[in-house]
Chains A and B, each alone.
Chain A
């Protein structure tokens, strides 16, 4: 081998070894990602970098995130060989610009590779504050110091009747490091002056600083037992806002409270809260990536601001007899239908009480006792118009029955409540129409006794028109299982349906077979007919009258038999005469001549067989056509 050739072979071998070694040394493809900075101002440029190591052909597309605008994309490729191991890295850098404040999450997505593999990215979070506000210099989570209590003097609402529960001027308490509190709660009642039983709308706001990972497993609760509060079963409203240049997440409930007794009472709420003390350990833990982040949780009750509620007793003076504890501002109306009835037939009263207040204590408008009418318990339904359930409309449906005839005025109806604004009792008269009552008056009408709600049904005083008792026992049964729950009920129907299906199936199969049989029979008949026609022609040629008439009669019987679904030999002249007299007239001479010739054994003689043949063929053609 020449030296040059030896050199080439050695070079190729070395190259091959190198390639094989490099290929064999290549590790599996991996994906790394980072966002810089993790906190930014609105309008700042933020870079999001995805690097694929040891993977080729990666096609990375950043998912669209509302509030983040993609400003540019660039790609970098690096190759490194260390100790004979080659690694490649393709980095794709996205430049994004936040267009508004908030916490944005770039969701996880898949990165497909050229070799068919797929890499999975992790979600990334970017916190954006208003332009000009200082962002965290390094983006790391601050060390946990625990919650800061709300100063009692903060955000004390006016003692008047604020129409709006919103709290535009929120000043969070400040921690020892000078930053606003991580977690705090604020309660804002509509008023701090209330009456016993009055429902006071209450706004509860829970603030969590954006850089604090907090977790709440419970709802805010009232501290102490001086107040009753509506359930906080509805989901809170959630929004983000900036306080003292710090972004906060806020949860808001609108509810209502009431005090069962008068006096001055402290009003404060608490919420059981967990929050992360810090996350430094997460990144220094060498197994952190393996086991995932392990945040250290702290736990505590976050108290709200404390207020004093002044609860006043309802005045005794001027309290209407029909006052049931309704406090607020209400409107009441009513209607009665029908306005023309017979004695004993019900007239239905529909009342509506709407407005703002404690609807729990709103009862059906009171009716003045009237012997002409028997009243019954009203059913009620309330529809709330706001979250605190202090505004709404309560409707009542009540039956009253006339006890005498004539043009009767309905009992006077009125609704009373305590107006907490005017601080006085108000009685609203509810006008009702006149009712025309016909029929015979009930002789002993019982008045409905007053009950807890409004009235209770009178005892059976007019049950005289009940049908009398049955004297037979009837069919006794241990339980109430109705017929349609008994298996036999469906089995009988199913059986009948099955029978129908089987019958239809049988008919169909039979018809298919019948069609086959009919086809075969038709073919056989055609062949026989052709043979008989040939026999007729031969007989004419030979002037063999018996043979001709024998064949002709058989051919006619064959066709009529097919028409009537009868065997050919069953077709006789009497049968044809019975079923088709006109045909019998035409065929009569043929059958008679055939009998005469066949039985007498006469030859053609003076018979014109050709003419007979023509006549028979015409007849057969007509039958064929029919």
Chain B
């Protein structure tokens, strides 16, 4: 008896495709339904319930700028300004330059009694950079430079084909080079600076105002406080204390439980600078 392996293979492939399709369909449907439920709770004024549903969505399916933004809205409406600011910061991190997120972030900062926009214009620009666009700009510069180099070298041949003089062809490509080289250097410099600026470990003050201390010990002298919702940069870690500073350069040691990281996981000891 001859076994038809092709039939078995077709059957197996069909089953696999069906299974995958079911899984994808299930994954695609469930979050949308949950999102609807969370948004409905928000519209009905059940902000705590809505925040809970958004948090569950994130825990189950992962982060996205809209989810963090919606969670920020629910927390803000529920009066949890620290949590709201944390989630707006996360949304802004995932979708830099989104004016809607920035608007809600500023409104909530103002509501929390914080400076709505503590950053200078260049810091705002750096925080708003879209990396995909930036990548496209730099690669375009490099490609144009490559074309300019090849064009300059092939001016004689191009002259024979086009009828234009080789000198004028060379002038054109040299002009292109003179335009692209500084542009590339400028964008490269800004890119590296921006990476450095954005690659900081940031946290948001949670709950009550955080106490700044002179040393990383519970008995150390208090040197000030940071209000709830304030965004700080974590510079150093010592046991359960972080050395932080805010946009107004107020700095000190803060116990870790008073902060939540903007990027989840960055407060792990191995990641702290």
* Residues of A participating in the B interface, judged by any CB pair closer than 8 Å: 230-231, 233, 344-346, 348, 360, 375-382, 389, 394, 397-401, 452-453, 457, 459-460, 462-463, 465-480, 482-485, 489, 492-493, 496-497, 499-500, 503-504, 507, 510-511, 564-566
Chain A residue numbers with a CB within 8 Å of B42 are 469
Decide yes or no: A469 and B150 within 8 Å by CB, A379-B224, A459-B79, A493-B139 being known contacts.
Answer: no
> Are A511 and B208 touching (Cβ within 8 A)?
no
Chain B residue numbers with a CB within 8 Å of A382 are 222-224
> Are A398 and B62 touching (Cβ within 8 A)?
no
B112 interface residue (CB < 8 Å to A) = yes
Kindly identify which residue among B78, B139, B198 contacts A484, using a CB–CB cutoff of 8 Å. B198
> Are A231 and B227 touching (Cβ within 8 A)?
no
Chain A residue numbers with a CB within 8 Å of B76 are 460, 463, 466
How many Å from the CB of A335 to the closest CB on chain B? Answer: 16
> Are A500 and B142 touching (Cβ within 8 A)?
yes
For the complex with contacts A381-B224, A479-B265, 11 further pairs of A-B residues with Cβ separation under 8 Å are: A231-B220, A346-B116, A378-B227, A399-B110, A472-B66, A473-B32, A478-B62, A479-B264, A496-B138, A496-B142, A496-B146
In the A-B complex, the 9 residue pairs with the closest CB atoms: A376-B113, A459-B79, A474-B64, A470-B66, A483-B131, A399-B113, A496-B142, A474-B66, A507-B153
> Are B70 and A469 touching (Cβ within 8 A)?
yes
Chain A residue numbers with a CB within 8 Å of B111 are 457, 460, 462-463
How many Å from the CB of A591 to the closest CB on chain B? Answer: 22
> Are A346 and B113 touching (Cβ within 8 A)?
yes
Kindly identify which residue among A379, A397, A482, A507 contacts B93, using a CB–CB cutoff of 8 Å. A482
Chain A residue numbers with a CB within 8 Å of B208 are 452
- Rounded to whole angstroms, the CA-CA distance of A345 and B109 in the bound complex is 11
- Rounded to whole angstroms, the CA-CA distance of A510 and B153 in the bound complex is 9
Decide yes or no: A507 and B62 within 8 Å by CB, A378-B227, A399-B113 being known contacts.
Answer: no
B195 interface residue (CB < 8 Å to A) = yes
Kindly identify which residue among A375, A381, A462, A469 contacts B250, using a CB–CB cutoff of 8 Å. A381
- Rounded to whole angstroms, the CA-CA distance of A376 and B114 in the bound complex is 8
Interface residues on B, range: 35 or more
Kindly identify which residue among A452, A473, A485 contacts B35, using a CB–CB cutoff of 8 Å. A473
* Residues of B participating in the A interface, judged by any CB pair closer than 8 Å: 31-32, 35, 39, 42, 61-67, 69-70, 73, 76-79, 81, 90, 93-95, 100-101, 103-104, 107-108, 110-116, 131-132, 135, 138-139, 142-143, 145-146, 149-150, 152-153, 156, 159-160, 195, 198-199, 208-209, 212, 214-215, 217, 219-228, 230, 248, 250, 263-265
Kindly identify which residue among A233, A380, A480, A507 contacts B263, using a CB–CB cutoff of 8 Å. A480
> Are A499 and B135 touching (Cβ within 8 A)?
no
Chain A residue numbers with a CB within 8 Å of B113 are 346, 375-377, 398-401, 457
Residue of A nearest to B103 (CB): A467
Chain B residue numbers with a CB within 8 Å of A399 are 110, 113-115
Residue of B nearest to A229 (CB): B219
How many Å from the CB of A457 to the closest CB on chain B? Answer: 5
- Rounded to whole angstroms, the CA-CA distance of A233 and B220 in the bound complex is 9
- Rounded to whole angstroms, the CA-CA distance of A401 and B114 in the bound complex is 11
> Are A483 and B135 touching (Cβ within 8 A)?
yes
Decide yes or no: A377 and B209 within 8 Å by CB, A463-B76, A466-B104, A471-B39 being known contacts.
Answer: yes
Decide yes or no: A565 and B146 within 8 Å by CB, A379-B209, A492-B139 being known contacts.
Answer: no
Decide yes or no: A480 and B139 within 8 Å by CB, A380-B225, A463-B107, A489-B131 being known contacts.
Answer: no
> Which among B32, B62, B225, B264 has the greatest number of chain A C-beta atoms within 10 A?
B225
Kindly identify which residue among B69, B150, B219, B225 contacts A503, using a CB–CB cutoff of 8 Å. B150
> Are A377 and B135 touching (Cβ within 8 A)?
no
> Are B215 and A231 touching (Cβ within 8 A)?
yes
> Are A499 and B146 touching (Cβ within 8 A)?
yes
Chain B residue numbers with a CB within 8 Å of A504 are 149
> Are A457 and B81 touching (Cβ within 8 A)?
yes
- Rounded to whole angstroms, the CA-CA distance of A132 and B198 in the bound complex is 69
Kindly identify which residue among B135, B146, B152, B212 contacts A492, using a CB–CB cutoff of 8 Å. B135
> Are B149 and A496 touching (Cβ within 8 A)?
no
27 sample A-B contacts, Cβ–Cβ < 8 Å, listed by A number: A230-B221, A231-B215, A346-B115, A377-B113, A379-B227, A382-B222, A389-B221, A401-B113, A453-B225, A460-B79, A463-B107, A465-B107, A466-B107, A469-B69, A472-B66, A473-B64, A475-B65, A476-B63, A479-B63, A480-B94, A482-B198, A483-B131, A489-B135, A496-B138, A496-B143, A503-B150, A507-B152
Chain A residue numbers with a CB within 8 Å of B69 are 469-470
> Are A380 and B224 touching (Cβ within 8 A)?
yes
> Which among B112, B195, B221 has the greatest number of chain A C-beta atoms within 10 A?
B221
- Rounded to whole angstroms, the CA-CA distance of A533 and B231 in the bound complex is 87
> Are B149 and A500 touching (Cβ within 8 A)?
yes
Decide yes or no: A376 and B139 within 8 Å by CB, A479-B264, A482-B198 being known contacts.
Answer: no
How many Å from the CB of B19 to the closest CB on chain A? Answer: 21
- Rounded to whole angstroms, the CA-CA distance of A507 and B248 in the bound complex is 52
How many Å from the CB of B248 to the closest CB on chain A? Answer: 7
> Are B160 and A507 touching (Cβ within 8 A)?
no
Chain B residue numbers with a CB within 8 Å of A457 are 81, 111-113, 228
How many Å from the CB of A96 to the closest CB on chain B? Answer: 45
Chain B residue numbers with a CB within 8 Å of A377 are 113, 209, 225, 227-228
Chain A residue numbers with a CB within 8 Å of B159 are 565
Chain A residue numbers with a CB within 8 Å of B221 are 230-231, 360, 389
> Are A376 and B112 touching (Cβ within 8 A)?
yes
- Rounded to whole angstroms, the CA-CA distance of A493 and B138 in the bound complex is 7
- Rounded to whole angstroms, the CA-CA distance of A348 and B118 in the bound complex is 13
- Rounded to whole angstroms, the CA-CA distance of A503 and B263 in the bound complex is 40
Residue of B nearest to A395 (CB): B224
- Rounded to whole angstroms, the CA-CA distance of A475 and B35 in the bound complex is 14
Chain A residue numbers with a CB within 8 Å of B116 are 346
How many Å from the CB of A177 to the closest CB on chain B? Answer: 42
- Rounded to whole angstroms, the CA-CA distance of A496 and B138 in the bound complex is 9
How many Å from the CB of B87 to the closest CB on chain A? Answer: 12
